[in-house]
Amino acid sequence: MAIRIYNTLSGKKEVFEPVESGKVGMYVCGPTVYDSCHIGHARSIITFDVIARYLKAKGFDVTYVRNFTDIDDKIINRANELGIDTRVLTDKYIKEFYEDMDALNVERPSIEPRATDHIDQIIKVIDKLIEKGFAYIIDGDVYYSVELFKDYGKLSGRRLEDMEAGARVDIDKRKRSPFDFALWKSSKPGEPTWDSPWGKGRPGWHIECSAMSTEYLGETFDIHGGGKDLIFPHHENEIAQSEAAFGKTFVRYWIHNGFVNINQEKMSKSLGNFIVLKEMIKHYHPEALRLFLLSKHYRSPVDFTDDAMNEAVAGLDKIYSLLERIEKQFGQVSGKDKTLDVNVFGGQFCLAMDDDFNTALGIAALFEVVRNMNRLLDENKNSFSQDVEDKVHSGWADILKMAAILGILNESPEDYFAKKRSTGLEKKSINSEMIDKMIKERIEAREAKNWARADQIRKQLEDMSIIIEDRPEGTVWKVKS
RNA sequence: GGCGGCAUAGCCAAGUGGUAAGGCAGCGGUCUGCAAAACCGCUAUUCACCAGUUCGAAUCUGGUUGCCGCCUCCA
């Protein structure tokens, strides 16, 4: 089944045909490493993590490149404020970035280039642009002349004439057009600097992505992704640079994810409402964040609220509860089969994913399997025929395969619920030994058929936000979230 | 000023021509000592509004209203 992708360039869904059959080259703009990641970064990263996982599962040989922007005005400013070397700063935030990614169960891309490790490649591309007449040098700075690239604006759908009306762009009289952007910036005292044919300086932002994507994926590659906010000017400029320098189509499919809002407000540093990943992970299971984000289409805006997150937590609990139920009945799944034969499992899930990576619809398919499994187990409480057991095993395998693409259900149900209990207790400062003692007393009361006493204890526990479940195999408890 | 997006039940949300997925919450039932969990059933004759195209529209066209994003660093 063919995959269809919404291409920002055409504004339509198109059938995905890679440059080279069976292979996919994919480049996604990674973070500028001068501060902690927030949930907006998480959305972009998780969106493309799932896309890469799915393409791999479909059998493509995927080369996934995600860069680190580690030289930039914000980085220099922050390093100066702290009085440290930019490399010390960027190393620190790259390390933190990896901690966050691991916590979110994000797979590592194939290649993660840093801009400062690719100065030679960057200089070569700039050189080519100067040679072809698309770039000009002023006082050691090199600018790209947007008016000379006839397709300028084709990605963002704007024309230079229109933009000039309401432009809020610095007027730099030396530039030919106010929209000309820097390919190379001459260095000021105290800034990190590299030698170049135009004097000491550092690369501009846009050129690094043109240089690094081409270096690893070739002059034309399949997929380029990033947040919607990068469409203009960043990706527009990448196209201008790469297509002018190499004279070829730069990227075949442009994919852009929507924003995360917080309580219906745009998340921004100036509003002070951005949520740092490290903080959010303290309150919610990372997989609940994945489930929450993937429950909406990747191109739509999503509104982050505690209510919405708690719904995602409830959904995740439901799936883990089923896994726990199955494992209690049938034992551990054999070695957690992660081989993803997408042509066999969850037909509905694959159809959804084939249609522009519709994870929301895919998750609906996942929940339907969950309900079917629960029903099957309910209907066969006492005896399991071989037929039923086979059905359970196949549904179970399907769930795990879908989950592997969504990047959830990475823990055993026991660990998941145990962790949930302990963090829940921590939050409410309750002692688990006391709970165990009360539950033991309640079990004794129940055995003596002293229902009044048993219910009294249950009420006491409930007042402490502890919910009791008397299952056939024994009593378990949960912390109400 | 220019460009683009969105409006579906109490809430979240999928669905781009064939008669409304899924989740959360709620109600009734099964199960249970009673609960909880799970399951079953119910919960939008209707998809912001108006007009049009069509045998047929939430889905296409035109218009109206409301909300949002981008045009400046930004996932």
Nearest to A481 by CA among A200, A212, A285, A256: A285
Q: Are residues A181 and A34 in the same domain?
A: yes
**What residue is closest to B37 (Cα–C1')?**
A469
Helix (H) or strand (E) holding A63: strand A61-66
Q: Are residues A324 and A250 in the same domain?
A: no
Asked whether residue A208 is domain-assigned, the answer is: yes
Rounded CA–C1' distance between A474 and B36, in angstroms: 13
Q: What is the pLDDT of residue A332?
A: 67
Interatomic CA distance for residues A202 and A196, integer angstroms:
9
**What residue is closest to B32 (Cα–C1')?**
A470
Per the structure, how many domains does chain A have? 3
The answer to whether the beta carbon of residue A446 comes closer than 7 angstroms to any atom of strand B is yes
Q: What is the pLDDT of residue A262?
A: 92
Tell me how far the alpha carbon of residue A216 is from its chain's centroid.
22
Interatomic CA distance for residues A126 and A123, integer angstroms:
5
Rounded CA–C1' distance between A252 and B65, in angstroms: 38
Asked whether residue A27 is domain-assigned, the answer is: yes
Rounded CA–C1' distance between A162 and B63, in angstroms: 26
Structure tokens of A21?
A: 């059959």
- Which A residues 31-90 have CB within 7 Å of strand B? 31-32, 40-41, 43-44, 69, 74
The answer to whether the beta carbon of residue A229 comes closer than 7 angstroms to any atom of strand B is yes
- Cβ atoms of A231 and A256 closer than 8 Å: yes
The answer to whether the beta carbon of residue A165 comes closer than 7 angstroms to any atom of strand B is yes
**What residue is closest to B21 (Cα–C1')?**
A364
Please, how many CA atoms are within 13 Å of residue A113, restricted to the half-sphere of its CB? 23
Q: What residues make up the domain containing A406?
A: 309-411
Asked whether residue A227 is domain-assigned, the answer is: yes
Asked whether residue A18 is domain-assigned, the answer is: yes
Q: Are residues A358 and A450 in the same domain?
A: no
Structure tokens of A393?
A: 């095993």
**Average pLDDT per consecutive 10 residues, chain A (481 residues; last block may be shorter):** 91 94 97 94 96 95 97 94 95 97 97 97 97 95 94 90 62 83 92 95 96 97 96 95 97 96 83 89 96 96 94 97 91 54 68 95 96 93 83 90 95 94 88 93 96 95 92 90 74
Q: Are residues A444 and A401 in the same domain?
A: no
Nearest to A359 by CA among A395, A402, A310: A402
The answer to whether the beta carbon of residue A28 comes closer than 7 angstroms to any atom of strand B is no
Asked whether residue A295 is domain-assigned, the answer is: no
Mark the nucleotides of strand B covered by protein, meaning any atom under 7 Å from a CB: 1-6, 11-16, 21-25, 32-40, 68-75
The answer to whether the beta carbon of residue A205 comes closer than 7 angstroms to any atom of strand B is yes
Domain end: A251, A266, A281, which one? A266
Q: State whether residue A171 is helix, strand or coil.
A: coil
Please, how many CA atoms are within 13 Å of residue A207, restricted to the half-sphere of its CB? 30
The answer to whether the beta carbon of residue A351 comes closer than 7 angstroms to any atom of strand B is no
Checking each nucleotide's C1' against the CA of A157, the nearest proves to be: B3
Asked whether residue A43 is domain-assigned, the answer is: yes
Rounded CA–C1' distance between A301 and B56, in angstroms: 33
Q: Are residues A69 and A117 in the same domain?
A: yes
Q: Are residues A394 and A451 in the same domain?
A: no
Judge residue A406's burial from the number of C-beta atoms within 10 Å of its C-beta, 0-12 exposed, 13-18 middle, 19 or more buried: buried
Tens digit of pLDDT for each residue in A378-427? Answer: 998 777 888 888 888 889 989 999 999 999 999 999 999 999 999 989 88
Domain end: A266, A300, A320, which one? A266
The answer to whether the beta carbon of residue A267 comes closer than 7 angstroms to any atom of strand B is yes
In this structure, what CATH number is given to the domain that contains residue A37? 3.40.50.620
Q: What is the pLDDT of residue A36?
A: 94
Q: Are residues A373 and A224 in the same domain?
A: no
Interatomic CA distance for residues A193 and A185, integer angstroms:
9
How many residues are present in chain A? 481
Asked whether residue A466 is domain-assigned, the answer is: yes
Rounded CA–C1' distance between A365 and B53, in angstroms: 35
- Cβ atoms of A209 and A238 closer than 8 Å: yes
What is the 3-state composition of chain A as percent helix, strand, coil, each rounded to the nearest 5? 50, 15, 35
Domain end: A215, A237, A266, which one? A266
The answer to whether the beta carbon of residue A308 comes closer than 7 angstroms to any atom of strand B is yes
Asked whether residue A90 is domain-assigned, the answer is: yes
The answer to whether the beta carbon of residue A361 comes closer than 7 angstroms to any atom of strand B is yes
Q: Are residues A206 and A67 in the same domain?
A: yes
Q: Are residues A137 and A216 in the same domain?
A: yes
Beta bridge partners, A27, equal A65, A224
Residue type, A55: L
Q: Are residues A457 and A355 in the same domain?
A: no
Rounded CA–C1' distance between A19 and B23, in angstroms: 38
The answer to whether the beta carbon of residue A255 comes closer than 7 angstroms to any atom of strand B is no
The answer to whether the beta carbon of residue A306 comes closer than 7 angstroms to any atom of strand B is no
Residue A256's contacts (CB-CB under 8 Å, 6 or more residues apart) are A8, A225, A226, A227, A228, A230, A231, A299
Q: What is the pLDDT of residue A386?
A: 87
Checking each nucleotide's C1' against the CA of A37, the nearest proves to be: B75
Q: What is the pLDDT of residue A43?
A: 96
In this structure, what CATH number is given to the domain that contains residue A388? 1.20.120.640
Checking each nucleotide's C1' against the CA of A156, the nearest proves to be: B3
Q: Are residues A200 and A341 in the same domain?
A: no
Q: Are residues A440 and A391 in the same domain?
A: no
**Dihedral (Cα; A294, A295, A301, A304), 10-degree rounding:** -90
Nearest to A223 by CA among A19, A44, A407: A19
Q: State whether residue A252 is helix, strand or coil.
A: strand
